[in-house]
Amino acid sequence: MSAETYRDAWGIPHLRADTAAGLARAQGRVTARDRAWQLEVERHRAQGTSASFLGAGALSWDRLARRARLADTARRCFTALEAKDPETAAWVRAYVDGVNEGLAETPEDGPAPEFARTGLVPGRWEPWTPLGVWLATHLLFAGLPAKLWREHITAHLGPEAVALFAADGPGTAGSNGWLVSGERTTTGHALIAGDPHRYIEDPGVYQQIHLSCPEFDVVGLAVPGVPGIAHFGHTGTVAWAITNAMADYQDLYRERLRRTGAGVEALGPDGTWHRAARHTETVEVAGEPGRRESVEVVEVEVVETDRGPVIAGGPEGLDDGTPAALSLRHPPRVTADLGFGALLPLLRARTVADVDRALDAWAEPVNVVQAADTEGGLLHRVAGRVPVRPEANRLRPVPAWEPGHEWTGWHAPPRAGLTDGVAVMANQRGLSTPLGVEFAPPHRADRIAALLAGRERWSAADLPAIHTDTHLASAGPLLDHLAALTTPPAPVALTPGAAALRARLLAWDRRMDADSTDAAAYAALRTAVVRRLAAHPALAPASAPPAYPEVLLPWLALVPRVGHALEHLLRAEDLYGIDRAGTVRAALEEVAAAPPAGTWGDTHRLAPWRALPDTAAGTEEPGLSGDHDCVLCTSAVPGLTDRAARGPAARYVWDLADRDNSRWVVPHGASGVPGSPHHRDQQPLWLDGGLAPVITDFTRLTKESDD
């Protein structure tokens, strides 16, 4: 099987091969060349071995990966794939072969510097490893941590607190996507655009790539470590894109466990004790990140009941002795199907009907999908597997020993049409509402819809302006409280500085632009209000969560929860007797006494995740426009930090009139190797809201190699 690798001016790989398997092998090889360190990190995360070189900070994840049996689930899913769909299994094997070949090569300029720092040598990928990477990437993508939060806040503040702190108020950064039908475009053909909001990692979580063979020719955004193009692709005649459907498809069960000799038993819903699977694994922990000289060995007990693997607690309870054990039930562990059977059919798709059929095999994460083809076909549906079970399962952990919490089937994926020739998906309540509990607030979706309504006909060149809109609708409740501070009949005396700040913020255009001093002042006020509310005696008891695994604790932290639910907390009829007017007044005086010295971009800076944090020591990350509820969703955590760890992990515009008129960009670049000319060459475009051209004509590309 011959294959050729080409590059465009941005270093993006364009691959051509004789067969689909040969192309998969080439994709694996070029990914290993461009992203060797990233692949090594992802392989270890899937195996639960990352603490062996990242140190104790990675131990909690490794414990969770082992206890959740991610690697074992990936093996099971691949074995089932081989039996059910041998062609796709062979295609995945070809990708893995390419990864191993690429990792074995010695780059001309030497291996990625991270390998030298850690003393690591790239390890071997197994056929199931891409499935493990997919599982590890999406394990905490659904409702698992939210169930723990709902239980925690209910225990301290009562059941009414669940709605007050719901994600709708707001809580979850997701993604934007919009479909404009041909009747609303300048060409008569559809446009699809958007930007997935995820943790911004360096290297990036999406890989721009072009895959061409006699069967198909596709451009899109791949997940490094996984073959094909799953989430965002354009085959020339059909294009598709996704956002998180915010569906709830993972259940937590409270288990009653007891030891019997060397074994463990779990109390089942039939009232009898059942043997649980149990074994012990060891995790190596480096003394500090990047240094493997001193390694500690930690034992991890792995227990699995009839519901699923126990991910927290055990027969002796949590680490603090609290009697608790939580098992996780999720579709891939139950069905041994991760949905990889959809990947090849997606690449081969020519129409929206083909995409629709392919997505019937999708498993997780559960997504809202939009697709359009050159024949005028349109698609707007949910894809993924959501179990049918009682409502209580969706809300919080349920008792495993009580009957009535079983899964009884699968939900039919909802579908929807377009309104006025457009469809908008931004994690809001919509066609996936029956499948979820909490959704993103409507601000991003409403703003995108309003912007699209402002023009009768759209071109591909027009759409990037929507990506970078910075209007913050969620500022309303706090500004309403400011306006009420001097409302009769009880005028409140403010100091001159506070009165001036109040007047300034009430006149602000509500745009979170990086160069705005007003945006900085609003953010400072918001932070002060959040911190004061979180410290109030009425809420403070919820600040100490149970001793769950450390990796789950960010979802249980009170200050971020208050920050993301600030709209609901300020609008509620009563908030546990808290004087919110007094809180806002005190916060206003606090900020007026020590106002921020600069602009929003001075503190709202990019904070990408790196496996080795000091890889780019001394590099000042850029300031950003946008905020959590802007279309330009660069998520600060009000009350905790202005820095943005989450944001657009890519941007794209798919043009169905002419694929070569499509555009895309990622936060950093095509290469994951620091020092490469393509490591960060797209960042100026990304910061300015620009997009790079999608080039599919191989005569316009530079040939790199024949493999």
For β-strands 207-213 and 13-17, DSSP reports them as parallel
Which residues lie closer than 8 Å to 465 by C-beta, 6 or more apart? 451, 689
Rounded Cα gap, residues 417 and 558, in angstroms: 39
Residue with tokens 């003393």: 119
DSSP 294-361: EEEEEEEEEEE-SS-BEEEE-TT-STTS---EEEEE-HHHHHS--SGGGHHHHHH--SHHHHHHHHTT
What are the beta bridge partners of residue 15? 5, 211
420: region left, alpha or beta (phi > 0 left; psi from -120 to 50 alpha):
left
Give the start-end residues of each E strand in 197-290. Answer: 197-199, 207-213, 216-222, 232-234, 238-244, 251-254, 257-260, 263-267, 273-288
Note the helical H segments in 48-143. 51-54, 59-67, 70-84, 86-104, 113-118, 129-138
Q: How far apart are CA 158 and CA 289, in angstroms?
A: 42
Q: What span, in angstroms and rounded, lies between the C-alpha atoms of 492 and 385? A: 55
Please enumerate in sequence order all residues whose Cβ is within 8 A of that of 86, keeping only pairs 6 or more positions apart, or say none.
none
Task: Kindly give, in sequence order, each residue whose CB lies less than 8 Å from that of residue 312, ignoring residues fewer than 6 positions away.
Answer: 67, 318, 324, 325, 326, 548, 549, 552
Cβ-in-10-Å burial (0-12, 13-18, 19+) of 420 comes to exposed
Largest CA distance in the chain: 82
Burial 317-331 (b: 16+ CB within 10 A, else e): bbeeeeebbbbbbbb
Task: Decide: residue 309, CB within 10 A, 0-12 exposed, 13-18 middle, 19+ buried.
Answer: buried
Q: Which region holds residue 52: left if phi is over 0, alpha if psi is between -120 and 50, else beta?
A: alpha
Determine which one of 50, 175, 625, 635 is catalytic.
175
> Chain centroid to CA 121: how far?
29
Contact 257, 273 (CB under 8 A): no
d(CA 118, CA 52): 10
Q: Which residues, 6+ apart, have CB-to-CB distance to 611 below 8 Å?
A: 37, 41, 50, 54, 114
Cα-trace Rg, the chain: 25
**635 catalytic per annotation:** no
Q: What is the DSSP annotation of 531-594?
A: HHHHHSTTTGGGGS-----GGGGGGG-HHHHHHHTHHHHHHSS-STT--HHHHHHHHHHHHHHS
CB neighbour class for 29 (10 Å; exposed up to 12, middle 13-18, buried from 19): buried
In degrees rounded to 5, what are phi and psi of residue 129?
-60, -45
**From residue 264, how far is each of 206, 255, 322, 325, 387 by CA, in Å?**
42, 12, 18, 12, 28
3-state secondary structure of 380: strand
Tokens 């943790």 map to which residue? 199
CA-to-CA distance for 233 and 249, rounded, in angstroms? Answer: 25
Evaluate the omega torsion of the peptide bond into residue 203 and state whether it is cis, within 30 degrees of 0. Answer: yes
User: Regarding beta strands 257-260 and 197-199, do their DSSP bridges make them parallel or antiparallel, or are they unpaired?
Assistant: unpaired
**Residue spans of beta strands (DSSP E) within 106-190:** 176-180
Distance CA 38, CA 456 (A): 44
Catalytically active residues are 175
